[in-house]
Amino acid sequence: MTDAHVEAPFHELTPLHASETPYDEETLRALHADADLVVARYPQKRSALLPLLHLIQSVDGYVTGRGVTFCAEKLELTDAEVSGVATFYTQYKRHPNGEYTVGVCTNTLCAVMGGDLIFDTLSEHLGIGHDETTPDGKVTLERVECNAACDYAPVVMANWEFIDNQTPASATQLVDDLRAGKEVRPTRGASKVCSFKHVSRVLAGFNDGLADEGVGAGGPSLEGLRLAKADGFDPYASSGEIRGDSDAESPADAPAPGLAGSTDTPANPADSKAGEKAGPA
């Protein structure tokens, strides 16, 4: 990052910060220890880039220049290769992020159900626009694409936890509660919304054990399955027929016939060699 960049922030509420200050010894030691655990999960170390970038965010709050260099050295990549990945995905932040990312879905279904109105209401209430952060550093507001939660539209995400069936008033209450430090309970998943750094560590692959605290799938998500079962539909039938009277339980969490779960897929030696020449992640 150059001084010119530092003097030319994206916007006044989320300025670029110089991020080249080296990690202190203790932080660096902990980063290496965690990164070693992540890298060990992959047949090729460069495949660990995505979780390592989340790990950097769990420490720095965004992808810093020193974090880019750490990942590059750890994975034997160039800074440019790491930056190319970090700037491609919107979950990686290249400037300081708020303690809570509040993402309002303004994709088609949520938009027509009120998502645009919710975003505009929050933008005016907080005094910030897309990808900007409140002066207290608490909330970063974003427009987000479909969260595959259309059955609960309009949906707002708080650090990627679902807050379903929102209205401008309920979303305003949500951001007020987050800024006030009140505990916020998502509609599904974990029992509370955790901080951006906390969630980033989970995304890096360090389980906090909270994922199944709350409701997993609610009634609207399961309605199709209920109707299918009531109609005798067996999606796992191998005969090719789409209807049957099988009363076998639908293995909702089992892979489809012929497909192995990703954890069962062995590394292919031929692919491993090809992967050495492929791009990062």
Contact residues: ligand FES, CB under 6 A: 105, 107-110, 146-147, 149-150, 153, 155
Q: Which is nearer to ligand FES, 50 or 153 (CB)?
A: 153
Phi/psi region, residue 106 (left: phi>0; alpha: psi -120 to 50; beta: rest), is alpha
> Which structure tokens are listed for 107?
């994709």
Q: Which is nearer to ligand FES, 53 or 113 (CB)?
A: 113
Q: Which is nearer to ligand FES, 19 or 121 (CB)?
A: 121
Question: Strands of 100-105's sheet, edge to edge?
Answer: 132-133, 139-144, 100-105, 156-158, 161-163
* Shortest CB 118 distance to ligand FES, Å: 11
User: Which residue, among 97, 165, 87, has the nearest Cα to 128 in the 3D structure?
Assistant: 97
* Shortest CB 108 distance to ligand FES, Å: 6
- DSSP for 155-203 reads -EEETTEEE-S--HHHHHHHHHHHHHT-----SSSSSSPPPHHHHHHHH
> Which structure tokens are listed for 262?
């990703």
* Shortest CB 66 distance to ligand FES, Å: 35
Phi/psi region, residue 19 (left: phi>0; alpha: psi -120 to 50; beta: rest), is alpha
* Shortest CB 218 distance to ligand FES, Å: 14
Q: Which is nearer to ligand FES, 70 or 152 (CB)?
A: 152
Distance CA 156, CA 165 (A): 8
Q: Which is nearer to ligand FES, 99 or 142 (CB)?
A: 142
User: Which residue, among 209, 165, 200, 158, has the nearest Cα to 183 in the 3D structure?
Assistant: 158
* Shortest CB 105 distance to ligand FES, Å: 3
- Continuous segment of H or E residues that includes residue 132: strand 132-133
Q: Which is nearer to ligand FES, 112 or 274 (CB)?
A: 112
Q: Which is nearer to ligand FES, 49 or 102 (CB)?
A: 102
* Shortest CB 29 distance to ligand FES, Å: 41
C-beta of residue 31 within 8 angstroms of C-beta of residue 152: no
* Shortest CB 168 distance to ligand FES, Å: 16
C-beta of residue 103 within 8 angstroms of C-beta of residue 117: no
